[in-house]
Amino acid sequence: MKAIDPFVAEVILISVVFFLSALIFISLTTIAEEKSKENIKKAEVAKCLSLAKIKIISVTESTIVILNQGNIELFNISIFVNDTKIGSFDKMNILEIKTLNFNRLNNKSVFTTAYCGGIFISSSCEEKESCWID
């Protein structure tokens, strides 16, 4: 059996070391990218939790008025009466007011939901609260 030429052995060793270094670099880069995405998501959640607020201003016999009281846009806003969705809006800008016509009849509560960066927020107004106008 012939011995391997030292030059060939060195080239093979350098190639293996280079290949393993590349694999380690790719792995570390992937981990760093995932951590970065995770940190961005955490920052979005924190931002939404601190800035997002939706409020039901008033519920009358025929109208519900809601306000984006926060400092960030809200999306997929839905309004419910007794667990039945009666209306929705795609987007609400900061301090924007939206009005929805409806017939209150014997309903005793209204609530609204919205999303900010994938975070769910809500607000409610029940009979006898200051937002419930007779």
pLDDT, tens only, 65-107:
999 999 999 999 999 988 889 999 999 999 999 999 988 888 8
Q: What is the pTM of this model?
A: 0.68
Instruction: List the chain domain ranges.
Output: 1-51, 52-126
pLDDT at 1 exceeding the cut of 70? no
The average confidence (pLDDT) of the chain is 88
The tokens for 114 are 């919205």
Q: Hunting for tokens 């270094």 — which residue is that? A: 21
Report the pLDDT value the prediction gives residue 49, as an integer from 0 to 100: 82
CATH class of the domain whose range is 52-126:
mainly beta
Of 82, 70, 94, the residue nearest 124 (C-alpha): 82
Of 96, 46, 41, the residue nearest 70 (C-alpha): 96
**From its phi and psi, is residue 65 left (phi > 0), alpha (psi between -120 and 50) or beta?**
beta
Report the pLDDT value the prediction gives residue 134, as an integer from 0 to 100: 74
Beta strands 109-116; 54-59: pairing state: unpaired
Mean pLDDT value of segment 37-54 = 86
pLDDT at 8 exceeding the cut of 80? no
Distance CA 132, CA 61 (A): 9
pLDDT at 55 exceeding the cut of 90? yes
Of 134, 131, 133, the residue nearest 66 (C-alpha): 131
Report the pLDDT value the prediction gives residue 115, as an integer from 0 to 100: 93
